[in-house]
Amino acid sequence: MPGKQCILVVDDEAGLQKLVRRHVERQGHEVLEALTSAEGLAEAIAGKPDLILLDLHLPDGSGLALLGKLKADPRTMNIPVLAWSGSDAVESEIEVLGAGAREYFDKSDVKPLIRRIVELLNAK
């Protein structure tokens, strides 16, 4: 197994954070969590995660705005970001990928997302 990696989960839904944490920690990796955009930015800078999972709808602002800040900051610009949302708007997916997210996932089916997270963390 590769070395221990770290993912930052930026999402205000505790159940989804717990689900991701359970699967990631089972693979021997670490999980950082943030409930808001502001916490997410601070945790990304301080925690230096290997991967970020970003919800597009946060209580203090848009995940898309946070994605822009992450990609503009030299300290976080190279961290891969997986975006996800409960919205099925194709425009959101296109906009998020254009803003620098590596991939986009729908919250209605978390299995592909979990598989992808584990795959990316184990590949490092």
pLDDT of res. 94 = 87
What does the pLDDT read at residue 78?
97
In a domain, 20, yes or no: yes
* Structural domain of 17: 1-33
1 confidence band (pLDDT: 50, 70, 90):
very low
Q: Work out how many domains the chain is built from and give that number.
A: 1
- Residue at 25 is within a domain: yes
Q: Average pLDDT of 97-110?
A: 91
Q: Using one digit for the tens of pLDDT, what is the confidence trace for 43-85? A: 999 999 999 999 998 999 889 999 999 999 999 999 999 999 8
In a domain? residue 40: no
Kindly state whether residue 44 falls inside one of the protein's structural domains: no
Question: Within a domain: residue 97?
Answer: no
Residue 57 placed within a domain: no
- Does 43 reside within a domain? no
Quick check: is 59 in a domain?
A: no
pLDDT digits (tens, 9 = 90+) for 10-41: 999 989 899 999 999 999 999 999 999 999 99
pTM above 0.85, yes or no: yes
What is the residue-wise DSSP string for the chain?
A: -----EEEEE-S-HHHHHHHHHHHHHTT-EEEEESSHHHHHHHHHHH--SEEEEESEETTEEHHHHHHHHHHSTTTTTS-EEEEES---HHHHHHHHHTT-SEEEETT-HHHHHHHHHHHHHH-
